Amino acid sequence: MEFLSYLISGISLGSVYAIIALGYTMVYGIAKMLNFAHGDVIMVGGYISFCAMSYLELPGWLSVVLAMAVCTVLGVVIEGLAYKPLRQATSLAVLITAIGVSYFLQNAAQLIWGASPKGYTPLVPALNAKGEPNALQLFDGQLSIPYLSLLIMAVCIIVMVALTFFTGQTKLGKAMRACSEDKGAAQLMGINVNRTISVTFAIGSALAAVAGVLLCSFTTSLMPTTGSMPGIKAFTAAVFGGIGSIPGAFLGGILLGIIESLAKAYISTQLANAILFAVLIIVLLVRPSGLLGKYVPEKV
Amino acid sequence: MLKVNDINVYYGAIHAIKGVSFHVNAGEVVTLIGANGAGKSTTLNTVCGLLHTRTGSIEFLGQNLAGIPAHKLVERGLAHVPEGRRIFQQMTVEENLEMGAYTQPRSGIDPNLERVYEQFPRLKERRKQVAGTLSGGEQQMLAMGRGLMSNPKLLMLDEPSMGLAPILVEQIFDIINRLHHAGTTILLVEQNARMALSVADRGYVLETGKIVATGTGDELLHDEAVKKAYLGG
């Protein structure tokens, strides 16, 4: 029973990683760049939601909508100002710019909101009005699943299904896949590649805002560096699952969450991250393209 | 329909196209032939907006194309089937064709699909198949079908016979002939000069970025210099 509760906690933490990883993987798939600032957009999303709830006293769900709107705009602006001028530059230049944007966002957040952690009120509080745990009790209360965890998992599944539908069935989604394969040929089809990349950043950043709110609800605290470690882990998850692949990011995120949770519970809290990254290295040694990395036999 | 006027194109410091002029009339098949590196593909890529001229002008349907990005030219009726086919390998045959109709209204997609499937029955058989698994000839058909999905007024084909077995090359040229008879205007770039000239109304010979000869397909087929240089004596 104990194992099961660690497993569930791992899956819900992994669901947050998966949502972040989906943003990473979409941007990588289409723009062929690692947006290292993605984790910091999560942090901005967290702060926007925090301010909306604490200062404007808006309800939680509305704070999420507001955070998504702000992050969408932020993502498109970052892409337009920092990445678009480098479209023809080497990938190394873009990577360094992304790292720069990441530090810029962290320092800007520190200027605006200060360095000390803020207490974040979770979307679903841990205890209800009567002081009982806000959780689903199973097996006569032996297994307790927090409603927050259920919410996180549900959101993750909805996001995953929606993205799969979007890229598989809609015109814009298919255009994104076309751009991800061959930008020149996509242009010859009449696809506006720059606009498609902007839309990808918009979607990725909106997801980052959702992830930010869920992450802060999980950890109940918020500071300017909140996004960086989960950002790196989600990037790991995306590589783990096969970067560029949507189901891969989902699977990678969930597995990473489970490994982290179980490693913390049964091996060592301090070593959890080391174990996590060790598993990544082993997986990449065995399967360089990740668990679900794309491999299509191509005839020429 | 298409009027290319004394264009000069550079790759950095390299002067790739040196004052090239040619035109294509409605309903014609015009071919640009020449050796590797003569500037044939560069010319096509310039017409379709992927590369830019330094001087000179390109007019399509009476409008100057300067400064119009490549993706806007498709709406105007210019379709380019690029060298090496460049199909979307990880998408299905039908998705590739849908991408070809990206600029078309939703209602226009199905009739176009029907028409392309009629031209290329093989593509219909394989519509749900991932394009990367098609054979070379089928991929070329897909690339051409994809180009036709946008209802182009001018179809530009860049080396459609490249890397194909002789029997497939003949098939591809049969298709070009059929398209021609159906009234499609085609600008064809080819290394296979004999085949290209036999289907073309007119041809231009490119040599190191310059046009060195022009005439009807027949005239060029029987031109001594062209014979020697491109038709194997």
pLDDT digits over B16-64, tens only? 999 999 999 999 999 999 988 899 999 999 999 989 999 999 999 999 9
Q: Pick left, alpha or beta for residue B63 (phi over 0 → left; psi -120 to 50 → alpha; otherwise beta).
A: beta
Q: Do A174 and B95 touch (CB under 8 A)?
A: yes
What's the pLDDT score for residue A1?
74
CB atoms within 10 A of CB B231: 15
Q: Do B100 and A186 touch (CB under 8 A)?
A: no
**Rounded distance between C-alpha atoms, residue A130 and residue A139, angstroms:** 22
Give CA torsion, residues B77, B81, B87, B91, to 10 deg.
20
Nearest to A298 among B79, B95, B132 (CB): B132
| B233: amino acid identity, one letter | G
B65-115, pLDDT tens digit by residue?
988 999 999 999 999 999 999 999 999 999 999 999 999 998 989 999 999
Q: Do A300 and B136 touch (CB under 8 A)?
A: yes
Is the pLDDT at A32 greater than 90? The verdict is no
Question: Dihedrals φ, ψ of B186, to 5°?
Answer: -130, 135
Mean pLDDT across A17-39? 91
What's the pLDDT score for residue B196?
94
In a 13 Å sphere around the CA of A196, the CA atoms on its Cβ side amount to 27
Three-class SS state of B74:
coil
Q: Do B50 and A294 touch (CB under 8 A)?
A: no
What's the pLDDT score for residue A128?
76
Q: How far away is chain A from the Cα of B92, in angstroms, using its nearest Cα?
A: 11
Residues 6+ apart with CB under 8 A from A234: A17, A18, A20, A21, A23, A24, A38, A39, A211, A253
Residues 6+ apart with CB under 8 A from B210: B18, B19, B20
Contact between B166 and B138 (Cβ < 8 Å): no
Q: How does residue A137 score in pLDDT terms, banded at 50, 70 and 90? A: confident
Tell me the CA distances in angstroms from B88 to A26, A182, B20, B27, B85, one per residue in order: 17, 7, 32, 29, 9
What's the pLDDT score for residue A299?
44
A221-241, pLDDT tens digit by residue?
999 999 999 999 999 899 888
Q: How does residue A284 score in pLDDT terms, banded at 50, 70 and 90? A: confident
Chain B residue closest in CA terms to A176: B99
ipTM for the complex? 0.89
What's the pLDDT score for residue B177?
93
| DSSP result, B151-187 | --SEEEEE-TTTT--HHHHHHHHHHHHHHHHTT-EEE
B143-194, pLDDT tens digit by residue?
999 999 999 999 999 999 988 999 999 999 999 999 999 899 999 999 899 9
Is the pLDDT at A147 greater than 50? The verdict is yes
Residue B89: list chain A partners with CB under 8 A: 181, 296, 298
Question: Dihedrals φ, ψ of B159, to 5°?
Answer: 50, 55
What's the pLDDT score for residue B232?
74
Contact between B230 and B35 (Cβ < 8 Å): yes
**Rounded distance between C-alpha atoms, residue A21 and residue A3, angstroms:** 26
Opening angle at CA A103, ends A98 and A104, nearest 5: 90
Nearest to B91 among A177, A188, A299 (CB): A177
**Rounded distance between C-alpha atoms, residue B99 and residue B161, angstroms:** 23
Helix (H) / strand (E) element for B106: namely helix B106-119
Residue A174: list chain B partners with CB under 8 A: 91, 95, 98-99
User: Class for domain A2-121+144-286, per CATH?
Assistant: mainly alpha
Question: What rounded mean pLDDT belongs to chain A?
Answer: 90
Contact between B178 and B100 (Cβ < 8 Å): no
- Report yes or no: A189 at the B interface, CB cutoff 8 Å: yes
Q: How does residue B233 score in pLDDT terms, banded at 50, 70 and 90? A: low
- Which chain A residues in 162-181 lie under 8 Å from chain B, judged by CB atoms? 171, 174-175, 177-178, 181
**Rounded distance between C-alpha atoms, residue B137 and residue B168, angstroms:** 6
Mean pLDDT across A83-94? 90
pTM of the model: 0.88
Q: Which of A176, A182, A189, A246 should be substituted to probe chain B, the one whose Cβ sees the most B Cβ atoms within 10 Å?
A: A189
- Report yes or no: A130 at the B interface, CB cutoff 8 Å: no
Question: Dihedrals φ, ψ of A27, to 5°?
Answer: -65, -40
Residues 6+ apart with CB under 8 A from A61: A123
Q: Do A296 and B95 touch (CB under 8 A)?
A: no
Provide the 8-state DSSP code for B133. Answer: G
Contact between A199 and B84 (Cβ < 8 Å): no
Q: Do A175 and B136 touch (CB under 8 A)?
A: no
Q: Do A181 and B88 touch (CB under 8 A)?
A: yes
Nearest to A185 among B88, B132, B139 (CB): B88
- Report yes or no: A190 at the B interface, CB cutoff 8 Å: yes
Residue A167: list chain B partners with CB under 8 A: none
Residues from B in contact with A at Cβ < 8 Å: 48, 50, 69-75, 79-80, 82, 86-91, 95, 98-100, 102-103, 130, 132-136, 139, 146, 150, 163
- Pairs of CB atoms within 8 A across A/B: 83
What's the pLDDT score for residue A126?
74
Q: Do B80 and A188 touch (CB under 8 A)?
A: yes
Residue A296: list chain B partners with CB under 8 A: 89-90, 130, 132-133
Q: How far away is chain A from the Cα of B73, in angstroms, using its nearest Cα?
A: 7
Q: How far away is chain B from the Cα of A208, in angstroms, using its nearest Cα?
A: 27
